[in-house]
Structure 1
């Protein structure tokens, strides 16, 4: 069965209050959502918090998902991404980010965690290299550097519609590559 169909069924059941479907949805997607969050926030504690808050929103807003606007996983990733962006902005305004803290957090990884993250980075890098330059640049700015779509527009000096199209098409190609 198509992975999006599975996610769609689980999300629909979640919208009806099915806790088992929500647990299954969590099990199937939490790793990917955490990877997106960690890539943006660069701190495990903040990444975990962003994912936890995103799943609370997913539980409460499952009925608001609109299939014609994109795939379920893409919708869920956007929830995590916006939460991570909010956290980045809050961190910048409070000046809580300390380079020493970040370095310490990175150095306390277990060998298994380092290997897992390294393998994921290699797979993502390999798939990112297959994207068109425009798509890759837009995705890197939005997802890896945490810029909003409007900030990406300003940086690339292109209209919002173009940026959104490049990101959407690039994410679709990236998803297909990572699933193969």
Structure 2
């Protein structure tokens, strides 16, 4: 006997509650594209969206007993799970670190390329001050102050010891302090 081409909402809920894999496959086929779109919209990251979508359907499968027909439609319930899961991923520290590292990797400078620090305060002449620092020091300042990386993250990204990052950062800040003092004179 062929399976129906569509199911009612109650048939879907009953099928999921009885752990019917055919119903689950149907649900996935019908709703995965829409839910994927929601995940991509929240994360703005297609690479992570597939993994998050898998987590969403796993939560739907495991938590179907928590669905209450009186509180809303099945799709609305699934949409809320999807949105909340994507937001949780977006807020997670590992996701933020992955995004920072991705942005930093895109900005890693080739040896002979000049370092470009993205300035919002260029009118203060800060970019001229940074020119007095070494390339490594400018890179540290860029990562810490403009990319928002912690010293631990910088150490991981640049693959150097944390103590080295701290020493170089302290030296760079002291040099900037001297540069600012000399300008004020």
How does the TM-score come out when normalised to structure 2? Answer: 0.48
Which has the larger share of helix? 1
How does the TM-score come out when normalised to structure 1? Answer: 0.49
In our comparison, the structure showing a higher alpha carbon Rg is 2
Higher RCO structure (Cα 8 Å, ≥6 apart)? 1
